[in-house]
Structure 1
Amino acid sequence: MKKSIVLFVLICVCIALILQSCLLSKIDRTPYQQTDYYAALQAQLDTFSIDSLQLYGDTLQAGWAKANITPSTPVPMAGYGSRRGQKYTVVHDSIWARAVVFDNGKQKAAWVSLDLLIVPPEVKESLKKALPGIGFSIDQTYLTATHTHSSIGGWAKKLVGRLIAGKYDENVIKLITNGIVNAIRQADIHKQKAKIGLGTYYARELVNHRITNEGKVDSTVYVFKIQQASGATAAIVSFTAHATCLASKDYSLSRDYPGALVDSLEKNKEIDFAAFGAGGVGSHSPAAEGAEFEKIANMASLLSHRINTGFDSIALKYQTQLANRELALPLRKPQWRISENWRLRPWLFYSLYGDYPATLSILKTGNLTWIGTPCDFSGELALQVQKPAQHPLIINSFNGGYIGYITEDSYYDRNHYETRVMNWFGPENGAYFLETINQLMKKL
C-alpha cells in the first residue's frame, strides 16, 4: 500500500513538472537593447526616410463625417471582464464612427475614431479588404478609439478577448467596418481647402494617476482645429483620462464622457463637427466629482468649457504637408505573468489571445505629427516625448493592434492590474517605445 502511494505521488510530481515545462517559463529580463527584436527595429529605422512619404503637395483639403454603428439589437458589452459578456440593456446614447479626410493632391489620409473600447484587430483586418473599394488603403487610415468601457463587444475570437468583449459575432465586425467605410467616403466627398491649427489646454483636476500617488500625470487637452474655406469648423480632441465613469454593473450602452464632450462641443456655434481620440490613457483615470452619469456630465462640462474659452484664439494656417505610414513594431515574445518571475509560454498566450501584428501609426498634417500606438499607452510616458518634441506631437492609443498596457518601467514588478495582468510583452517596453518614438520624431 505504501509503495503504491509513493508511486502515485512520484507520477503526480512528474506530471506536474512536465506540465510546468510545457506551460510555464521564467520571465525574460534581457535588456531590450541586446535583443533581436531591437536589432530588427533599428534595421527598419535605418531605411525610414521622410522623403519617401511625398510629404509636400497642394494646399491641404479636409472633410469630415460620421456614421452610426449602434446595433439594431443588443450585443455583448466590452470594457469590464466582470460583465461576463452580458448584453447591454438600454441605449443611453448611440455610438459612432467619425472620420476626417485630408488630401493635398499627392495623397490622401483618413483620421478615424470609434466609440469603442479599442479598435479591434479583427476590424483592422476587415478594413484591409474593404477600404480599396472607396479608393483608400489601411496604410492611409489612422485609427484610434474613445476607449469607452460601455460600448459594444463581440469583436474578439479568442478566449481572452471573449472574456473582455463577449461572444464573437461576425455581424459586429461588418457593422463597424461598414460604418468606418461610410464615414470616410462621406468625409472624402465633402472635403474643401482648409486651414488647420493646434491648441493645448490643461485639466489637472480631471485626471488621476491610478497606480501610484507619486506618478506624474499628463493633463494636457489637445485640440486640433480645422476650418474649411466655407467657414465650417471641426475639432479633434485628445485627452488622457480613461472613459470609465460608468461602473461595470451598469449595462447602458454609452460613449461615456468623450461622447458627452463631443455633443457639448457641437452645441457651440463655432464648432460644426467634433471627434475624440484617446490619448495616453494608461495609468490615468477620470477625476471629476459625481457618480456615473453625473461624473460624465461634469467631465464633459469642464472640458468643453476649457476648450470653448480658447477655441477662437487657435492660430490657423494653410498647410501643404501630409504623410501617412505604419512602422512594424517587433516585440519580445509574450511574457504574460502568473507571478513575479513566471509567465505562460508564448504558444499558450497566442492560443488564448491570438497573434496580431503590432505597429506604430504615423500621420503628419502640416507641422503636427500624430503617432498611434497598439496599446493602452501610458500618459506618464507620453509626457516624456510630447514636451521635448521640437514640433507638435499627439500620441493616441488603440491603432488597431492590441498588446496590453505599456507603462513606466519602474512599475513593472508592482502587483497591479496594469503591470501584472495587462502587461503582456515583458519588461522595458516603456523605454523601448520612448526610444522608438524619439527616433521617429528626429526623422520627421
Structure 2
Amino acid sequence: MGKWLKVLLKFVGALIVLLVVLFFFATSTIDTTPYFETEYYRNTIQNIEEAVKNKTEAKGPLLAGFARTNITPKIVSGTPDPTKGEFNNIKMAGYGSGKIATGVHDSIFAKAIAVEVNKETVVLINADLVAIPEDVVIQVTENLKGKIARKQLYFGATHTHSSIGNCMPGYVGKGFGGEYQPEVVEWLGQKFSALILQALADKQPAQFSSGYIKVPNLVRNRIIGESGRLNDKLDLLSFMQENGRKATIGAFSAHATVIGTDNELYTGDYPGYFQRHLEENGVELAMFFAGTVGSHSNKGLGEKFDKAKYIGETLADSARSALNKMKYLPNVDLTAISSEIEIPKLQFLYISDRLRLSPYLGSKLMPKTNPIQVQGLKLNNLIWLALPYELSGEYGLDLKNALELQGYNSVLSSFNGQYLGYIVPQKYYYFDTYEARLMGWYGPSMGDYLMELNFKMANELTHSKL
C-alpha cells in the first residue's frame, strides 16, 4: 500500500507541476505600460507623419457617382452556383448563437458614392453587413489594382446582425459568423468590385453638403445606462448631381440589434428601414454607416420589426428635416490621409482582473492580423475618420465636440475593412461588461492610444490643434 501511495503522490505532484507550467504559458498579466512609452506608439506616430507628407489634396468642382447592388444570397437546396450568389446555407453574423438564414424579410445591399475633385478620387462604400470582412477588402483591392488603390476606398457597414456570415476565418470568426466559406468571400469581392466601378462610371457634376441633427430618443448608453454620456447625433452627408439625383449618407451610433437572435430572415434591421424610407421620399441612394457604436444601443417603441421600422423611419424623417436646411456647394476642398498603425500585443479573453490569455494562444483564436489602416477625409467642413473598430460613443463625443467648436461637422465610422473589437474608455476596462471583458482585446491603454491617433489625424486634416 505504501508503494502505491508513493506512486500516486508522485503522479499528483507531476500533474500539479504540469498544470502550473501550462497555466504559466497559457496566461499573461495585463500590460499596463503607458502607451506613449512603447515602440508601437513611436512607430505609428512616424507612420502618420509620413502619411501626412503624402496626403491627397485637391480643390475645385465636384464630380459624384452613385451605385448600388443587391447582395442578398439565394438559398438553394440543389447544387449552388456561388458566382450567382447561390449557397446551400449561410449563417447570419453578429450573434454568437446566430442561426442559419431560411429566407428574406428585406433585401440587403451594398452601395457606393464616388467623389472626384480635380482628378483626385475617393469612394465611400457601405453594406448591410455586421462588418466589412477583411478578406473581401483584400480581394477588392486585388481586383481593382491599377484602377483604384486601397487608400482611396473608405469602407463601412450598417452593423445589422441579420446578414451574411461565413466570411471571417479563425475560431472567433466562426463563433460570430459561422464556418469560413471562401466562396462567399469571393462572391462578395466580385460584387463590391463591380459596385465601385459602377460608381466611378456614374460620376458627373454635383454639389455637396453636410450637417447633423440630434436624435436622443433613439439611442442609449448600454454600458452604464441613463447616467452615461451619449453621442446622439445623426450625421449627414448629401450629394446632388446636376440632374437632380441625390445620395444621402447617415451615420448614427445605435447598435443595429433590434432584431434578435431568434430571427431566421435576412434583414437590414433599422438601418434598412432608414435607407428605404429616404429612397421612397426623393433620395436616389441612401446609405447608413454605423458610427460610434462601441458603447451605444438602440431605443424606440415597439418590438422586433415594428421597433426597427419605428427607429429607422424616425431617423429618416429627422434626416429629411435637416437636409432641407443644408446648403449645397459645387466646389469642394478635399484632403485624404491614409496611414498604417501598429497596435499593442493581444490581451484577449478575460481570466481575472490581472490575467488574460497569452498573446500566443490568443493569436491562434483570432484571424491573421494584417497591417492596420486608419483613414481620414476632409470634404469642405466635414471631417470623416474611417476606423477599423467599434469606437465608444463617449470617446467619439469628445472628438466630435472639439471639431464642432472649430466649425466642423464630423463622421466617425466603424468597420473600415478590419476589426479590432470594442474600444471603450479606460475607466471601463475592468468593469464587468461585454464591451470590456469579452470584446476589449488589446489592454487598458488601447482606447486612449487610438484616441490620440484620431485627434492627430483630425488635427492634420483641419490644420489646427483640437
Cα RMSD, aligned residues only: 1.4
Please name the residue that 1:93 is paired with: 106
Give the whole-Å Cα distance in 2 for the aligned partners of 1:229 and 1:240: 32
Letter in 1 for 2:326: I
Mapped to 1, the partners of 2:366 and 2:56 lie a distance apart of: 37
TM-score by length of 2: 0.91
- Aligned match for 1:119, one of 122, 132, 142: 132
Give, as a single letter, the amino acid of the residue that structure 1 aligns with 2:398: Q
The whole-number CA distance in structure 1 between the counterparts of 2:19 and 2:97 is 30
Q: Is residue 5 from structure 1 mapped to residue 8 from structure 2 by the alignment?
A: yes
Q: How does 1:387-426 map to 2 (within 5 A)?
A: 387-389=401-403, 390=406, 391-426=408-443
1:366 maps to which of 380, 389, 392? 380
Which amino acid in 2 is paired with 1:14?
Answer: V
Q: Distance in 2 between matches of 1:354 and 1:373?
A: 18
Contact 1:97–1:176 (Cα < 8 Å) also in 2: no
Structure 2: gaps (5+ residues): 76-88, 462-466
Distance 1:419 1:442 in 2: 28
Q: 1:46 to 1:189 in 2, by over 3 A?
A: closer
**C-alpha contact 2:168 2:180 (8 A) present in aligned 1:** yes
Match of residue 18, structure 2, among 12, 15, 20: 15
Alignment of 1:209 onto 2:221: yes
Q: How does 1:286-305 map to 2 (within 5 A)?
A: 286-305=298-317
CA–CA distance in structure 2, aligned partners of residues 155 and 130 of structure 1: 18
Query: Aligned equivalents of 1:364 and 1:96: distance in 2?
Result: 26
SS at match of 2:45: helix
In the TM superposition, residue 30 of structure 1 has moved relative to its aligned partner by 0.9
Deviations 1:115-140 (A, max 9, x none): 1001111112112211226x112111
Q: 1:68 aligns with which of 67, 70, 74?
A: 70
Distance 1:324 1:47 in 2: 13
The 8 Å contact of residues 56 and 337 in structure 2, kept in 1 or not, is answered as no
Q: Which residue of 1 aligns with 2:177?
A: 165
| 1:69–1:175 Cα contact (<8 Å) kept | no
The residue aligned with 2:92 is: 77
Q: How does 1:270-309 map to 2 (within 5 A)?
A: 271-309=283-321
Q: CA deviation at 1:57?
A: 4.1
CA deviation string 1:288-316 (max 9, x = no partner): 12111011011012111211123221111
Query: What does 1:432-443 correspond to in 2, within 5 Å?
Result: 432-443=449-460
Partners of 1:430 and 1:268 lie apart in 2 by 40
Query: Could you say which residue in structure 1 is the equivalent of 2:447?
Result: 430
**2:346 corresponds to 1:334:** yes
The Cα of 1:363 is off from its aligned counterpart by 2.4
Question: How far 1:326 sits from its partner (Å)?
Answer: 2.2
After superposition, give the CA deviation of every residue in 1:303-335 in whole Å (9 maximum; x if it has no partner): 112111232211111233334332112111001
Give the total of aligned pairs: 439
Mapped to 2, the partners of 1:120 and 1:200 lie a distance apart of 28
Is 2:381 the partner of 1:378?
A: no
AA of the residue aligned to 1:426: G
User: Are 1:197 and 1:315, in contact at CA under 8 Å, matched by a contact in 2?
Assistant: yes
Note if contact 2:389-2:415 (Cα within 8 Å) is conserved in structure 1.
yes
Q: In 1, distance between residues paired with 2:49 and 2:277?
A: 45
The 1:167/1:54 distance shift into structure 2, 3 A limit, reads closer
Distance 2:342 2:212 in 1: 32
Question: Is the 1:100–1:111 Cα contact (8 Å) retained in structure 2?
Answer: yes
Structure 1 stretches of at least 4 aligned residues deviating more than 4 Å after TM superposition: none
Matched-pair contact (CA < 8 Å) for 1:330–1:358: yes
Identical amino acids, percent of aligned pairs: 32
For the residues of structure 2 that align with 1:136 and 1:188, how far apart are their CA atoms? Answer: 10
Distance 1:53 1:329 in 2: 16
CA contact (8 A) 1:358 1:402 kept: no
Moved more, 159-168 or 1-10: 1-10
Give the letter aligned to residue 414 of structure 2.
Answer: S
Aligned in 2, Cα 1:48/1:186: closer, same or farther, shift over 3 Å? closer
Q: Is the 8 A contact 1:67 1:96 kept in 2?
A: yes
User: Given the alignment of the two structures, is residue 195 of structure 1 paired with residue 207 of structure 2, yes or no?
Assistant: yes
User: What TM-score do you get using the length of structure 1 for normalisation?
Assistant: 0.96
| 1:325 and 2:337 matched | yes
Equivalent position amino acid for 2:60 in 1: D
**Alpha-carbon deviations, 1:3-24, whole Å to 9, x = none?**
1221111111111112112211
